[in-house]
Amino acid sequence: MKALAQVKSDNPRFVQRQYLHELTQPLVSSGVLVYRAPDYLEQKTEFPSFQRAVIQGDHLTLYSSAWKGPRTLSLQSSPGIRAVVESLRATLSGQLPVLQRSFNIKINGSSKHWSLEFRPLARALKKEVRLILLRGSDRRIDRIEIHYSQGNYSITLLSRNRP
Amino acid sequence: MRRSDRWVVALWLGVLIASALIISRTTFNTGISAFLPDSPLPEQRLLVEQLKNGMVSRLLLLAIENASPSELSTTSKVLAARLRSDPAFVLVQNGDSSGVAPDRALMWRFRYLLSDRVKAEAFTATGLRLALQKDIQLLSSPVGFLLEPLLANDPTGEMLHLTTVLQREGSGGPHHLDGVWFSRDEKRALMVVQTRSPGFDFDAQKHNLAKIQSAFQASSASTGSRQIQLIESGPAVFAVHMRDRIQGNVWRLSLVATILVGSLLMAVYHSVRLLILALLPVLSGAIVGIAAVSLSFGMVDAVTVGFGASLLGEAVDYAIYLFSQTLPGQSPATTLLRIWPTLRLGVLTSVCGFSALLLSDFPGLSQIGLFSITGLFVAVGVTRWVLPLLMTEHFDPLHHKRLFLTLSGFASQSARLRGPLAILMLLTIFVLATHRGPWWNGHLSSLSPISEGDRRLDQALRTELGAPSVNRLIALRERDLQQVLVDSEQAGSKLEGLREKAVLAGFESPARIMPSRKTQIARRDALPPPEQLRANMRAALAGLPFRLHFFDPFLLETESTRTGKLLGRRNFHDTTLGLRLDSLLFRDADHWTALIPLREVAAPAELKDAVARWNIPGLILLNIKHQSDQLYRSYFHTILRLSIIGLLAIVLLLAFSLRSPVRVLKVLAPLAGAVMVTLAILLNTGRLLTIFNLIGLLLVVAVGSNYALFFEGLSEKGEVREKTVFSLVIANIGTTIGFGTLSFSSIPVLHDIGTTVAIGALLSLGMSAILMARPASFETSSS
């Protein structure tokens, strides 16, 4: 997994499909994900409408046309988002052991094609996020699967134009 | 004893007994608020009232430090749980979710009455469709799953809107770690506690603080960390510590002054009887003084009693003059006849000085003034009429003969020090003329007995908790609660306009937390009846991916709001919102006051102009810092004016008694010198001068004039002269001890006056000797 830590920045395109129980069909959105070591993450949605979520340090700021101005929230005050962000950050920086206190982590596959399972340990958190599943090949994450409560889940596929 | 003498003693004892009776029924106030003056302007009164009694005074800020973050957060959680189970604490907030659950419940239940976005058009098919489209957009964002559980009940997103609007503006709340509040450097876990008892109920607050301490001991024991510490701050903490300090101070100061003056008297007179006699006038003065304060103020400040130490130092002088100036073979009555005119004049000048205090706007200072004036009159009266009757044993000066001669010799030789004195005065003038920066501390806080360190800690904790102190606020006053809320809403909508023009960054308003009934009814009426809303929703959903009956809970809840009760003050029980509401909306006598704190005002002039045009009755725009500094300036000018009047009164008194401009000048010259040198010394200690230093300077003149007067009258030769000089030196040491002990006090009023007068009194004696002693008399006395 250490190999991932050598990647200092990444900006794959993403396609996200959300399966929510209130919806009659999955919600599809796409755009670009940006990662810069050590802790900068950004989700830039271009379809169906423009929206940016910037995660840096302890804060998530959302720029959305649904709201007047940007809104910031502390990750500490929203454990669900924090769990997702932490699992991504730890994977990207190769520091999984740090998370072993708060997640049950399973590694499967080979270094060529690997998958990581994060299951939160805290009971309160389990109610928000049941499972985070990351799949990748070599040094890259290819697929992010997040299972929320009430059978809701989302699958995000990442793709890169190989040079 | 003659018959008339018996009457004198009887009268004296009678007054003492009556005074003791009054004192036994007196309440002693150990607060410090008496040293916040009564204010003339309504906005200033509001400020002072808030300082004294506001809801804010019930808040305690706690910080746990000196352990690892995980130990700190564990302790914070356990401590919070313990405190929450104690009914003495209305609210305990450490950032964990159980603290905000009641707030969320309240906001959720009344969201359609609280939200300013509730308007008829928001619930039409078009309005709802717009809201649903935004929901879909947000669902695909990382925060989507936070909103998802609320969606079925709240498709228009009022809850999210309210959490943003009602959240502490700007900072987004304190820093979190492990689910509890932390300082940004993660070295302190933070907590806010609201007590049931008001901040000025010292006994209750002291009890509360003890409870918190023992809960903390129990909570931290489980972590096993030994260094872990609890810091407490907040108005109530200050008040309790202050009271302990005042009480400790008052007793210690009085005791130290009594022991020191007693030792001095024993060293000089070698007689317990004389010691007791010397203390009689002082004690009588103090007892009657306190009784007089009690009668005219209804209570006595502990600080006033603390000032007794200085009275002791000054009033003991009278007995010293009497004892020391009595010649062998002469009766005390004869001595009194000789020194009475000087003594009387000395007392009157002192009284002129203390009158400035009596007339000031500070209830605390007036008390000190009345106490001192009464005390001095009684002390001199007892010295004049009672002591001679009790003095059967004559003071035997024999074993001090040598000391007399030495002192007298010094006095005569002191004229030789006129050269060095001239140099000292030139130096002083130079220091005063070239002093850079301001002389006076222009801030109200300089009167506050809270130490600089405590104040800084408090400010740091407040900033970390995202509740920085505001500088400007709007205050609204009305007889009727609903009217003051309506006014607040009106001001709020205008402020919103100014915020869009970037005149200010934001504001808080009680009407946001509890809208007026009028507004609530308007919002309730904006909600369509159920069939109508169902039809609108159905139309809005066309073409969107939501399931058809998914929003049924929303339809039900709007209906229950539409037919339910309005939000009232009772609903805020146990919530932090209620706490904020109480700090922004409170009742005094027959009026309601609403406060609207303004954040980061960028264009103060524009704000002021705009506010003036609003035409909302009872509205005041307050600049707290400015107001409090102005308040201070007005006190300062009052005290300055009174000091000048006091000074003029002293000069007039001297002119009337001495009947010679030259003699008046001779008496005033050393006093002026002493004041200037004292001023130079104080300025060079690096502290800015306060009102209390100014009062001290006036008292230097009032007290120092006694020495100058005796020196001025010092034309006789021989034994009388020796004895007078001796008595002056002893009396001066007594005064310096009395005021000097005050300078060790940590209470500004005592410390500043004490330091100033102690330095000034010593200098007055020295300068009087240097300027007025006559070398000629030295030859005769030594022959």
Nearest to A22 among B134, B142, B151 (CB): B151
Is residue B606 a part of any domain in this protein? yes
Do B331 and B365 lie in one domain? The reply is yes
pLDDT higher than 80, residue A102: yes
As a whole number, mean pLDDT of residues B191-205 equals 80
Q: Which amino acid is at B586?
A: F
pLDDT higher than 90, residue A13: yes
pLDDT digits (tens, 9 = 90+) for B488-532: 999 999 999 999 999 988 888 999 999 999 999 999 999 999 999
B151 → chain A, closest CA residue: A22
- Note the pLDDT of residue A146: 94
**Cβ within 8 Å, pair B141-A128:** no
pLDDT digits (tens, 9 = 90+) for B317-344: 888 888 888 777 777 788 888 889 888 8
Last residue of a domain, one of B237, B262, B277: B237
Pair B195, B58: CB distance under 8 Å = yes
- Note the pLDDT of residue B780: 39
Share of residues in chain B with pLDDT > 90 (%): 31
CA gap B728, B410 in Å, rounded: 13
Q: Nearest CA to CA, how far is B186 from chain A (Å)?
A: 13
**Cβ within 8 Å, pair A25-B545:** yes
- One DSSP character per residue, B482-521 reads HHHHHHHHHHHHHHHHHHHTTSEEEE--HHHHS--HHHHH
A70 → chain B, closest CA residue: B164
Nearest to A45 among B135, B140, B143 (CB): B140
Do B539 and B604 lie in one domain? The reply is yes
Nearest to A152 among B134, B136, B148 (CB): B148
**Cβ within 8 Å, pair B138-A148:** no
Last residue of a domain, one of B623, B651, B670: B623
Checking DSSP bridges between strand B504-507 and strand B619-623, what pairing results, if any?
unpaired
Nearest to A155 by CA among A10, A34, A18: A18
pLDDT digits (tens, 9 = 90+) for A34-67: 999 888 999 999 988 899 999 988 888 999 888 7
**Cβ within 8 Å, pair A65-B137:** yes
Which chain B positions have a beta carbon within 8 Å of A22's beta carbon? Answer: 148, 151-152, 546-547, 550
pLDDT higher than 90, residue B393: no
Share of residues in chain B with pLDDT > 70 (%): 89
User: What are the residues of chain A with a beta carbon less than 8 Å away from any beta carbon of chain B?
Assistant: 16, 18, 20, 22-25, 27, 29, 43, 45, 48-49, 51, 53, 55, 58, 60, 62, 64-66, 71-74, 76-81, 84, 128, 148-150, 152
Residue B568 phi, psi dihedral angles, 5° rounding: -125, 180
B150 → chain A, closest CA residue: A22
Q: Nearest CA to CA, how far is A19 from chain B (Å)?
A: 11
Check residues B551 and B274 and name the one with the higher pLDDT.
Answer: B551
- DSSP assigned state of B41: S
pLDDT higher than 50, residue B567: yes
**Cβ within 8 Å, pair A78-B146:** yes
Q: Nearest CA to CA, how far is B140 from chain A (Å)?
A: 7
Question: Cα B117–B120–B124 angle (5° rounding)?
Answer: 105
pLDDT digits (tens, 9 = 90+) for B687-708: 788 888 888 898 898 888 888 8
As a whole number, mean pLDDT of residues A81-101 equals 87
pLDDT higher than 50, residue B776: no
- Note the pLDDT of residue B64: 93
- Note the pLDDT of residue B531: 95
Do B67 and B115 lie in one domain? The reply is yes
As a whole number, mean pLDDT of residues B527-549 equals 94
CA gap B507, B476 in Å, rounded: 14
**Cβ within 8 Å, pair B140-A51:** yes
**Cβ within 8 Å, pair B545-A84:** no
Pair B300, B308: CB distance under 8 Å = no
**Cβ within 8 Å, pair B145-A128:** yes
Last residue of a domain, one of B182, B215, B237: B237
Nearest to A80 among B146, B179, B547 (CB): B146
- Lowest mean pLDDT of A78-87, B691-700, B713-722, name the range: B713-722
**Cβ within 8 Å, pair B141-A60:** no
Q: Nearest CA to CA, how far is A64 from chain B (Å)?
A: 8
Domain with B124, as residue range(s), is 56-237
- Note the pLDDT of residue B783: 32
Which chain B positions have a beta carbon within 8 Å of A58's beta carbon? Answer: 175-176
As a whole number, mean pLDDT of residues B216-228 equals 82
Is residue B24 a part of any domain in this protein? no
Is residue B490 a part of any domain in this protein? yes
Pair B513, B492: CB distance under 8 Å = no
Is residue A118 classed as helix, strand or coil in its secondary structure? strand
Give per-residue burial for B663-678: e unless 16+ CB within 10 Å, then b: bbebbbebbebbbbbb
**Cβ within 8 Å, pair B546-A23:** yes
Is residue B314 a part of any domain in this protein? yes
Nearest to B176 among A23, A25, A74 (CB): A74
pLDDT digits (tens, 9 = 90+) for B21-60: 998 888 877 655 555 555 545 555 565 555 555 556 677 8
**Cβ within 8 Å, pair A66-B545:** no
- Note the pLDDT of residue B171: 42
As a whole number, mean pLDDT of residues B118-131 equals 95
A vs B: CB pairs below 8 A: 83
Do B637 and B614 lie in one domain? The reply is no
User: B35: which residues sit within 8 A by CB, 6+ positions away?
Assistant: B303, B362, B364, B365, B447, B449, B748, B749
pLDDT higher than 50, residue B779: no
Residue B438 phi, psi dihedral angles, 5° rounding: -75, 155
Sign of the torsion angle spanned by Cα atoms B635, B704, B314, B750: positive
Please count the structural domains in chain B: 3
Is residue B686 a part of any domain in this protein? yes
Domain with A88, as residue range(s), is 2-159
pLDDT digits (tens, 9 = 90+) for B728-746: 888 888 889 888 988 888 7
pLDDT digits (tens, 9 = 90+) for A140-161: 899 999 999 888 999 999 998 7
Residue A115 is part of a domain; what is its CATH number? 2.50.20.10
**Cβ within 8 Å, pair B151-A49:** no
Which chain A positions have a beta carbon within 8 Å of B151's beta carbon? Answer: 22
Place of tokens 């503006």: B169
CA dist list (Å): B22 to B15, B287, B293, B303? 11, 10, 10, 18
As a whole number, mean pLDDT of residues B220-240 equals 81
pLDDT digits (tens, 9 = 90+) for B578-635: 877 877 888 877 889 898 888 888 898 999 999 999 988 888 888 766 776 777 777 7
User: B476: which residues sit within 8 A by CB, 6+ positions away?
Assistant: B484, B487, B488, B491, B593, B594, B595, B596, B616, B618, B619, B620
Nearest to B547 among A24, A48, A53 (CB): A24
Do B511 and B422 lie in one domain? The reply is no
B136 → chain A, closest CA residue: A27
- Note the pLDDT of residue B19: 93
Nearest to A53 among B139, B142, B148 (CB): B142
Share of residues in chain A with pLDDT > 70 (%): 97
Task: Give the ipTM.
Answer: 0.92
Is residue B459 a part of any domain in this protein? no
- Lowest mean pLDDT of A118-132, B110-124, B363-377, B446-460, name the range: B446-460
| Run of H or E residues at B596 | strand B591-601
CA gap B377, B347 in Å, rounded: 7
Do B251 and B221 lie in one domain? The reply is no
CA dist list (Å): B642 to B358, B360, B647, B712? 10, 7, 8, 27
Residue B239 phi, psi dihedral angles, 5° rounding: -60, -45
Do B490 and B445 lie in one domain? The reply is no
A27 → chain B, closest CA residue: B140
- Note the pLDDT of residue B249: 76
Please count the structural domains in chain A: 1
Is residue B554 a part of any domain in this protein? yes
Do B254 and B231 lie in one domain? The reply is no
